[in-house]
């Protein structure tokens, strides 16, 4: 095996998969991984609270990128969880001594190399371990611009953090990776899948319906304490930008996927146009974030109606992208 | 977003990290580019951190005045809340709330205390008292 090379990605799970497959001889970009695993989504789940705030997500559920890439690209992966810390630690050392690079799920909070500013309790972080130097692991964390090191104790604690989405020491690595894959049919299938889902999901809290549902709940914030209302709005923007989405809640990354796909289909016009439209939608999400940040800082009354209308208009613009994508045959 | 418009705001909340953002060149090609921060994102991250710090300060005062047990402070010091502590320990929320009472906490079993110690990364000695001066 060749020397492992760290690369900087926007998102942890798509970054780990791109990095891991490149090391196994299959060069697939992060946006392509994201698109092929139909990870784009939106969900607003008011009855699931994280840090007292309702769950807002711009992508599919954690681990779905790993699982969908495995399924859609016909890659054989091994996923292992452990009943004890000791077994989980020994297994990692064993896999490393075989010369593998190993994906691991972990909590963010207990990883010592994370700066305190973003050290929050989030259990579905993903990183790649590519070596060990005595009691320090060599880690390629996709969301860091350089590779990092992490002490044995810290990594173990992070891998076995308990609670919501507990990683249970999860390790994963490919056992068979095809050398060449015809991406075209997989692209077609997954573009169709995402577009249909976003437009027509029967679940009222997901897809474009999820965006509209969130939009509807924003005007009701005026009956709440102002501090809560500000935290509620801030939480939406955090999920959109802070957690490593590549900007605009993965919309920019998906636009990049569409652009790359267009090239593969001899500069297909529909895909290219959809990519530009998605970039514009992304800009609107960024503007939505800007308006919220201003409202949080201001002492004036918050224009809940206006923020809600912005969100509705974004859902209409996104609908246009997916309708365009459904024209792609 | 155009590459030239990707904010480079050196946000304090990035803790010297950089983030990869996808943005486009004039011809529509999209690339990933490093950003040192965005003011807007800094506002919302700062808001979340301030909230955690405030909870921690209030908890410190409540423990100091004898209203709550040190466990209450350590939960907030570790940026947890009752839900996270309950999921992490496997203890019911109501039973953790009881342990927030100083008189209950004083008589807590060693077995139960060790679970808290493990989850919070504290020693048996540490968890029984408040740190002398508040950290930071």
The DSSP element (H or E) to which B22 belongs, if any, is strand B19-24
> What's the pLDDT tens digit per position in A181-217?
999 999 999 999 999 999 999 999 999 999 999 999 9
Token pair 């636009």 is at which residue?
Answer: A255
CATH class of B48-128: mainly alpha
| C-alpha distance from A276 to closest chain B C-alpha (Å) | 7
Architecture of the A76-176 domain:
Alpha-Beta Complex (3.90)
The two three-digit tokens of residue A323, written as one number: 């309708």
Q: A324: which residues sit within 8 A by CB, 6+ positions away?
A: A270, A273, A274, A277
Token pair 């679940």 is at which residue?
Answer: A203
Q: What is the mean pLDDT of residues B61-88?
A: 96
Closest chain B residue to A119, measured at CA:
B79
The answer to whether A163 contacts chain B (CB < 8 Å) is yes
> What's the pLDDT tens digit per position in A37-70?
999 999 999 999 988 899 999 999 999 999 999 9
pLDDT at residue A282, rounded to an integer: 98
Contact A296, B47 (CB under 8 A): yes
What ipTM does the predicted assembly reach?
0.95
The two three-digit tokens of residue A231, written as one number: 């935290």
Examine the pLDDT at B54 and tell me if it is beyond 80: yes
Nearest Cα to B63, choosing from B55, B51, B71? B71
Examine the pLDDT at A299 and tell me if it is beyond 90: yes
Contact A138, A132 (CB under 8 A): yes
Closest chain B residue to A297, measured at CA:
B43
Angle separating helix axes A304-326 and A269-297, nearest 10 degrees: 170
Give the pLDDT band of residue A2 (cuts 50, 70, 90): low
Vertex A164, ends B99 and A242: CA angle to 5°?
110
Nearest Cα to B71, choosing from B114, B41, B18, B40? B114
pLDDT at residue B70, rounded to an integer: 97
Examine the pLDDT at B135 and tell me if it is beyond 70: no
Residue A275 to residue B30, Cβ atoms within 8 A: yes
> What's the pLDDT tens digit per position in A219-268?
999 999 999 999 999 999 999 999 999 999 999 999 999 999 999 999 99
- Domain ranges across chain A: 16-75+181-329, 76-176
> What's the pLDDT tens digit per position in B85-134?
999 999 999 999 999 999 999 999 999 999 999 999 999 999 999 987 65
| C-alpha distance from B13 to closest chain A C-alpha (Å) | 5
Contact A10, A140 (CB under 8 A): no
Closest chain B residue to A272, measured at CA:
B28
The answer to whether A304 contacts chain B (CB < 8 Å) is no
Closest chain B residue to A244, measured at CA:
B19
- For residue B24, the chain A residues in CB contact (below 8 A) are 255, 279
Residue B43 to residue A293, Cβ atoms within 8 A: yes
DSSP B28-80: S-EEEEEE-B-HHHHHHHHHHHHHHHHHHHHHHHHHHTTSS-HHHHHHHHTT-
Examine the pLDDT at A117 and tell me if it is beyond 80: yes
Model pTM score: 0.95
- For residues A135 and B2, give the distance between their C-alpha atoms in angstroms, rounded to a whole number: 43
- For residue B6, the chain A residues in CB contact (below 8 A) are 247
Contact A275, A258 (CB under 8 A): yes
- For residues A247 and A116, give the distance between their C-alpha atoms in angstroms, rounded to a whole number: 22
Q: What are phi and psi for residue A127, nearest 5 degrees?
A: -145, 170
Quote the mean pLDDT of chain B.
Answer: 94
Quote the mean pLDDT of chain A.
Answer: 96
Contact A238, B48 (CB under 8 A): yes
Give the pLDDT band of residue A3 (cuts 50, 70, 90): confident
Residue A241 to residue B14, Cβ atoms within 8 A: no
Nearest CB neighbour to A252, from listed B14, B21, B119: B21
- For residues B9 and B24, give the distance between their C-alpha atoms in angstroms, rounded to a whole number: 19
Nearest Cα to A247, choosing from A218, A270, A278? A278
Examine the pLDDT at A283 and tell me if it is beyond 90: yes
**Rounded CA Rg of chain B:** 21
Examine the pLDDT at A1 and tell me if it is beyond 60: no
Nearest Cα to A289, choosing from A309, A303, A304, A310? A310
Residue A293 to residue B90, Cβ atoms within 8 A: no
- For residue B47, the chain A residues in CB contact (below 8 A) are 230-231, 234, 296
Give the pLDDT band of residue A277 (cuts 50, 70, 90): very high
Q: Write the DSSP symbol of residue B2.
A: B
- For residues A198 and A59, give the distance between their C-alpha atoms in angstroms, rounded to a whole number: 11
Examine the pLDDT at B136 and tell me if it is beyond 50: no
Nearest CB neighbour to B13, from listed A9, A118, A157: A118
Q: What number of other Cβ atoms are within 10 A of residue B2's Cβ?
A: 11
A-B contacts (CB, under 8 Å): 143
- For residues A107 and A162, give the distance between their C-alpha atoms in angstroms, rounded to a whole number: 9
The two three-digit tokens of residue A163, written as one number: 């609670």
Q: What are phi and psi for residue A181, nearest 5 degrees?
A: -130, 135
Checking DSSP bridges between strand A102-106 and strand A125-133, what pairing results, if any?
antiparallel
- For residues B69 and B101, give the distance between their C-alpha atoms in angstroms, rounded to a whole number: 6
Q: Using DSSP, state whether A106 is helix, strand or coil.
A: strand
Q: What is the mean pLDDT of residues A302-314?
A: 98
- For residues B61 and B40, give the distance between their C-alpha atoms in angstroms, rounded to a whole number: 32
Residue B1 to residue A234, Cβ atoms within 8 A: no
- For residue B36, the chain A residues in CB contact (below 8 A) are none
Give the pLDDT band of residue A164 (cuts 50, 70, 90): confident
Residue B88 to residue A238, Cβ atoms within 8 A: no
């Amino acid at each position: 095996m060749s020397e492992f090379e760290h690369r900087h990605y926007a998102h942890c799970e798509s970054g780990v998969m791109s990095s891991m497959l490149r090391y196994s001889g299959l060069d697939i970009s992060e946006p392509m991984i994201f698109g092929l695993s139909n990870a784009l989504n939106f969900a607003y789940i008011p009855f699931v609270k994280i840090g007292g705030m309702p769950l807002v997500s711009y992508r599919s559920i954690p681990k779905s990128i790993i699982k969908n890439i495995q399924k859609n690209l016909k890659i054989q992966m091994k996923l292992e969880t452990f009943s004890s810390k000791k077994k989980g630690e020994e297994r990692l050392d064993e896999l490393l001594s075989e010369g593998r690079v190993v994906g691991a799920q972990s909590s963010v909070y207990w990883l010592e190399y994370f700066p305190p500013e973003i050290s929050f309790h989030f259990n579905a972080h993903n990183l790649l371990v590519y070596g060990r130097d005595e009691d320090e692991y060599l880690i390629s964390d996709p969301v860091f611009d350089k590779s990092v090191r992490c002490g044995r104790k810290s990594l173990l604690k992070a891998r076995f953090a308990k609670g919501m989405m507990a990683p249970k020491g999860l390790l994963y690595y490919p056992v068979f990776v095809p050398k060449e894959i015809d991406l075209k049919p997989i692209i077609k299938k997954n573009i169709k899948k995402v577009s249909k889902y976003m437009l027509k999901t029967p679940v009222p809290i997901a897809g474009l319906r999820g965006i509209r549902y969130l939009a509807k709940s924003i005007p009701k914030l005026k009956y709440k304490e102002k501090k809560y209302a500000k935290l509620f709005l801030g939480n939406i923007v955090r999920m959109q930008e802070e957690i490593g989405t590549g900007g605009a809640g993965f919309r920019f990354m998906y636009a990049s996927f569409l652009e790359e796909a267009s090239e593969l289909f001899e500069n297909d016009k529909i895909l290219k146009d959809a990519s530009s439209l998605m970039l514009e939608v992304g800009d609107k999400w960024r503007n939505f974030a800007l308006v919220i940040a201003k409202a949080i800082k201001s002492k004036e009354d918050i224009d809940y109606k206006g923020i809600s209308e912005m969100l509705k208009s974004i859902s209409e613009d996104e609908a246009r992208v997916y309708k365009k994508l459904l024209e792609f045959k | 977003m155009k590459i030239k418009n990707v904010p480079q705001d050196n946000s304090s909340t990035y803790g010297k990290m950089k983030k990869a953002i996808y943005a486009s060149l004039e011809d529509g090609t999209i690339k990933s580019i490093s950003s040192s921060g965005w003011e807007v994102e800094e506002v919302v991250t700062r808001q979340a951190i301030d909230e955690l710090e405030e909870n921690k300060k209030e908890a410190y005062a409540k423990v100091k005045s004898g209203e709550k047990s040190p466990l209450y402070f350590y939960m907030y010091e570790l940026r947890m809340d009752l839900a996270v502590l309950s999921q992490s320990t496997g203890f019911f929320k109501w039973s953790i709330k009881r342990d927030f009472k100083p008189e209950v906490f004083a008589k807590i079993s060693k077995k139960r205390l060790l679970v808290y110690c493990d989850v919070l990364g504290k020693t048996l000695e540490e968890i029984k008292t408040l740190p002398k001066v508040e950290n930071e």
